[in-house]
Chain A
């Protein structure tokens, strides 16, 4: 594989198109926020990519996660794999995986991802060879971690 196809692995391109967890934000006003609700908006000022992640209680069968964002395929795919991980593993599983993902991103292409722990996020190993794209990959994870942490601290 060339560096470019390592960066843009099929699983990443697929996640960039079919995004897990993406949807319409509930965006409650500050005084209408239910207990256990977290919302985080993150921007990459160098390129303008942005994401908002909401995590918190819902009625009916919806999942507590919804995110909305715009950006490059790496940042959107990263949000999608994070969303998938959170949906499948829950907040505890996500919190365990996030440091491993961060470590992988800073490995300069040398990291050996634990696929059991990271799921599709393991495909981002090739991204770590491109220092200019690490921020793209981490943007969503910062928002996810922040939203989950807010949700935890505002629980009744």
Chain B
């Protein structure tokens, strides 16, 4: 995107016009949650003011309109990520999606789901493989599954330059491995992982693959069928959509066999006092009232991104990422976490400021109008791997521009002097 195009895009995001602490806002926390374009805000409001009704029940006009909007959202999402409609399950967020998968395995291991679900059973002697760069949402549920089933939890480590260490891939992922769960893109390091290689190895040993696509869905063209993963999870609010809605993707034949976790209304066929039958996917995982307005908003978000083009967005964010990397590298006393090559990562740059805790960095940046994320970013093992407990992260989205980068780098330059380092007097 050229300067004019970026200016036009920024005009679609009303929040970016506000000031913070008397300064222009440089919003560099899109990795945590993205800002929303007017079309998303309007879509949600239009639905609530014109078409709101319960979906998949009722025969009145509003119920039909609401159901159409709900299913149109599913269709839009399926097209956006390269999946079939019935492979897109609505959840609350990616965390719920990952738990539905892991607890589905636990349910199967407890004998639920009959012979169809036998393929998901785990027990002693089996292994689950994750990585050291996982967000806690793609680590803790697998720890829990290991505890429930007696399976062994293993992980792939990290290299010093922020890549997955795959030298022992064929030993870590072996004949005992039933699940390989990994992130597409690290939420801290920005690293884009070698999904095809991991999928290939998992297939060799007959293990299921689970992809955390939270940090890729809004930043890179995503083709889930092309990647060949069995399951995937991502959240709406990180991809310009509302909070409260996420996606669970699964290959259709697997979703139809995986025992559901949330059971109740809307997901059943016949219910007697003794037992119940379940619908096929996706309804089998959509018990209870769904976040319909949020889904309508999320559909508007994916249409918005599709109009710009995910390849265009990825190229824009790669350029912003390169500028962020150069800018951070130019500040004395700051160490970048993750790869230095902008071509192998997204536009999210985490760093450690020597002698200043991340919380203090974030506070100082905030006073200059810069919103960045500080803390462990729900990735404590990753931070421990690099000898720190917390870091600061500046992360871009489609609306991030060079002014944001310049404002951030200028503010970052002031951090160490403010705290009495580099000859500064606090």
A residues touching B (Cβ–Cβ < 8 Å)?
Answer: 2-4, 7-8, 10, 13, 17, 46-50, 70-74, 130, 133, 136
Contact = CB atoms under 8 A, between A and B. Distances in A.
Contacts of B185: none
A7 B363 CA distance: 10
Contact of A4 (B358, B359, B364, B383): B364
30 contacts: A3-B21, A3-B367, A4-B364, A4-B367, A8-B360, A8-B418, A8-B419, A13-B420, A17-B420, A47-B358, A47-B374, A47-B376, A47-B390, A48-B375, A48-B380, A48-B383, A49-B357, A49-B359, A49-B390, A50-B389, A70-B389, A71-B357, A71-B389, A72-B359, A72-B360, A73-B357, A73-B419, A74-B359, A133-B359, A136-B359
A60 B419 CA distance: 37
A50 B358 CA distance: 14
B350 to A, nearest CB: 14
Given A2-B367, A3-B367, A70-B389, A13 B426 contact: yes
Nearest to B383: A48
A106 B44 CA distance: 37
A130 B426 contact: no
The winner among A2, A7, A48, A50 for most chain B CB atoms within 10 A is A48
The winner among B357, B375, B376, B420 for most chain A CB atoms within 10 A is B357
A77 B426 CA distance: 15
Nearest to B364: A4
Interface in B357-380: 357-360, 363-364, 367, 374-376, 380
Nearest to B361: A72
Given A71-B359, A72-B359, 18 more contacts: A4-B364, A4-B367, A8-B360, A8-B363, A13-B419, A13-B420, A17-B420, A47-B359, A47-B374, A47-B375, A47-B390, A48-B383, A50-B389, A71-B357, A72-B360, A73-B419, A74-B359, A136-B359
Given A13-B426, A47-B390, A48-B376, A72 B367 contact: no
Interface residues of B, number: 20
A13 B418 CA distance: 10
Contact of A73 (B21, B360, B376, B390): B360
Interface in B328-356: 356
Contacts of A72: 357-360
A8 B21 contact: no
B140 to A, nearest CB: 13
Nearest to A7: B363
B62 to A, nearest CB: 41
Contacts of A130: 363
Interface string B377-415: 000100100000110000000000000000000000000
Nearest to A130: B363
Contacts of A3: 21, 367
